[in-house]
Amino acid sequence: MFFSIIPPFLGQVNVSEFESGDIMRKKRFQIIVLLLFVSMLLMACTNRSIVTKKNDEDPEEIGEAYGFTMFNVSFDTTEMKEALVSRYDEKIDKTEAVYENKIDAVFLHGDEAMEKLDGIFKELELDPEMDDEDMIKETSKAFEVIDYKSMKLKVTFKGRDTKELMMTK
């Protein structure tokens, strides 16, 4: 009869509620809320730090452009923690770049961050055999942050182990 066509997920339903459409409106509302939640979750999971632009001049091997495949630096000043944060990670399938400068209120990700970092990395002359203190000075000079309280630097040079440095003034 009529009860046999009611889906089991609706549970016990009396005919007057079913006919009035209350349950159908509740289910429709639940589905809309679920779809909104899923779409917000998907938008939050996108990676905006991925670099999509590639120059024709770019070398094909990773690490060829700057001599390193990973570069992370963070400067703390007396006024603020993580006043400048920069991350660059080059892999075979993707490159990620972030440049966040709270001092100048500049927050760049992906292609925009890569443009900014490209200019900095071209004047940054780091060498895996370089003295730790010289590496810190070069990085500070290239990022134009001279008055810092502490600096954390993590670099993976092409074909080498990761080098982690920390300097506190």
DSSP 3-state of 77: coil
State the pTM of this model.
0.68
pLDDT per residue as tens digits for the range 73-88: 999 999 999 999 999 9
Residue 113 has pLDDT above 90, yes or no: yes
pLDDT digits (tens, 9 = 90+) for 114-138: 999 999 999 998 888 999 999 999 9
Residues sharing a CB contact under 8 Å with residue 50, sequence separation 6 or more, in sequence order = 94, 95, 96, 110
Condensed to tens digits (0 to 9), the pLDDT of residues 6-17 reads 555 555 555 555
In angstroms, the Cα distances linking 115 to 13, 47, 54, 85 are: 62, 18, 11, 15
Average pLDDT, the chain: 81
